[in-house]
Chain A
Amino acid sequence: SQELEQSPQSLIVQEGKNLTINCTSSKTLYGLYWYKQKYGEGLIFLMMLQKGGEEKSHEKITAKLDEKKQQSSLHITASQPSHAGIYLCGAVGFGGNNRKLIWGLGTSLAVNP
């Protein structure tokens, strides 16, 4: 089973709508990364969360880490077509090697104008 589960797998929203993507871990999270991938391109780093309750924002994207729930959520306010792509969460590896990250399967987001 996947150690990092992302939900939903895919999402289609109307431009201007808010949306939330979740990343849930099967184990304690020591660091959680969010990346965005445009179709056919490489991954772009968005932000990293380390401490429970931490919240960070980048333009209209906000991410939070809930340590107790072993979950991070990524919220986009007033979505735009430029937000379309695949959002991936990555976490510090659970095997003790913190130079390796494990990854969720990604959430595909489409924003209709």
Chain B
Amino acid sequence: DAGITQSPRHKVTETGTPVTLRCHQTENHRYMYWYRQDPGHGLRLIHYSYGVKDTDKGEVSDGYSVSRSKTEDFLLTLESATSSQTSVYFCAIIIPPGGPLGNEQYFGPGTRLTVT
């Protein structure tokens, strides 16, 4: 158990509404990631963070913003949800030493988001 929780676990929202997903870790590890997983596209990185207030974009960051004001929480916001953002969202962390290359990731249980 990597001590990662995601909330909510399921959400249905309407197009155009803002949505915030939360990833919480209990151990104050530095690296945190947000992915989305879709059939035919696999796992794609949205944003990641390497410390409080230090974030960077992934390959599918358009329409998403993130914030990390505390080490233990990494928030993903869909500014104005669209149907194309219907997906399963996963948070991941690196638990030091992160394996021999320092990048072994551990995943949360996921959030299933449906935008109608």
Contacts and interface: CB of A to CB of B under 8 A. Distances in A.
Do A and B interact with each other, yes or no?
yes
Contact of B99 (A40, A48, A103, A104): A48
Interface residues of A, number: 23
Given A42-B110, A103-B44, 4 more contacts: A31-B99, A33-B105, A88-B42, A101-B103
Chain B residues touching A, range: 20 to 34
Contact of B103 (A31, A41, A106): A31
A43 B90 CA distance: 9
B101 A98 contact: yes
B85 to A, nearest CB: 19
A41 B3 CA distance: 15
A2 to B, nearest CB: 8
B109 A105 contact: no
B97 interface: no
B70 to A, nearest CB: 20
A92 interface: yes
Nearest to A4: B42
